[in-house]
């Protein structure tokens, strides 16, 4: 193999890659926040005894989990303008990622809710706890504590999946890498550096989620 590695042009473009990484992180964090809220609300709806809450949430989850994210993104970015709603690439990416993340988070949180012993709920009702307190302390906290590792893994997948939004001209890390590669024609070097950046971001998120699990869920759960 006589390939000569040349990283000079990649190092020169590091500020642009760093800006792309910043957008990737910001998009991912915003998506995680919105997606978790969607997941909690829809998980409560899916476990409700009221059909008018349960069925819409079930349809949403099945529709999103059984169609490609890329098609969902194209529908938002290219389809909505036909209805008079035009979004810029970042807005479309955030909406698409949040809707997609929310569907997967719903099923994870629902699994945690289903794992709660029915006796705990009956005891809370017998003691006269108000419904908001039961939902917060007897349902959500134990459920989230049980499934947080799975949620953390899903959130890291959200960050990695953000590379797809480069297809609608979002200049996140992958989008910037593609632009740089078309300028310097050094794809191996560019994507090798980008791979290392994604690994660093994923490992950092993993440490953050582990800290949240340890100091919030585990410590508080055993307090």
Distance CA 40, CA 148 (A): 12
Q: 0.85 cut: is pTM over it?
A: yes
Domain-wise residue ranges, the chain? 13-221
* Average pLDDT score over residue span 9-36: 97
- The domain 13-221 is classified under which CATH number: 3.30.460.20, 1.20.1250.20, 3.40.50.300, 1.10.3720.10? 1.10.3720.10
Tell me what the mean pLDDT of segment 148-162 comes to: 96
| Tens digit of each residue's pLDDT (9 = 90 or more) over 54-65 | 999 999 999 999
- Per-residue pLDDT at 137 exceeds 60: yes
Identify the residue with better confidence: 3 or 215.
Answer: 215
**pLDDT value, residue 223:** 47
Is the distance from CB of 184 to CB of 12 less than 8 angstroms?
no
């Amino acid at each position: 193999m006589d390939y000569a590695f040349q990283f000079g042009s990649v190092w020169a473009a590091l500020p642009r890659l760093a800006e792309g990484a910043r957008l990737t992180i910001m998009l991912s964090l915003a998506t995680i926040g919105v997606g978790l809220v969607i997941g909690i609300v829809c998980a409560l709806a899916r476990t409700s005894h009221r059909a008018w809450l349960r069925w819409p949430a079930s349809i949403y989850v099945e529709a999103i989990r059984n169609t490609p994210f890329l098609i969902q993104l194209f529908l938002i970015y290219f389809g909505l303008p036909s209805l008079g709603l035009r979004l810029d690439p970042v807005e479309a990416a955030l909406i698409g990622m949040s809707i997609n993340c929310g569907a997967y988070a719903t099923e994870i949180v629902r699994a945690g809710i289903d794992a709660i012993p029915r006796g705990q709920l009956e005891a809370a009702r017998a003691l006269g706890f108000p419904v908001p307190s039961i939902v917060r302390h007897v349902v959500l906290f134990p459920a989230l504590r049980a499934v947080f590792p799975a949620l953390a893994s899903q959130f890291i997948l959200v960050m990695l999946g953000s590379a797809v939004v480069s297809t609608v001209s979002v200049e996140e890390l992958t989008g910037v890498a593609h632009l740089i590669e078309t300028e310097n024609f050094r794809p191996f070097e560019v994507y090798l550096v980008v791979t290392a950046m994604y690994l660093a971001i994923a490992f950092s998120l993993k440490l953050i989620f582990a800290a949240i699990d340890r100091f919030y869920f585990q410590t508080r759960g055993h307090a």
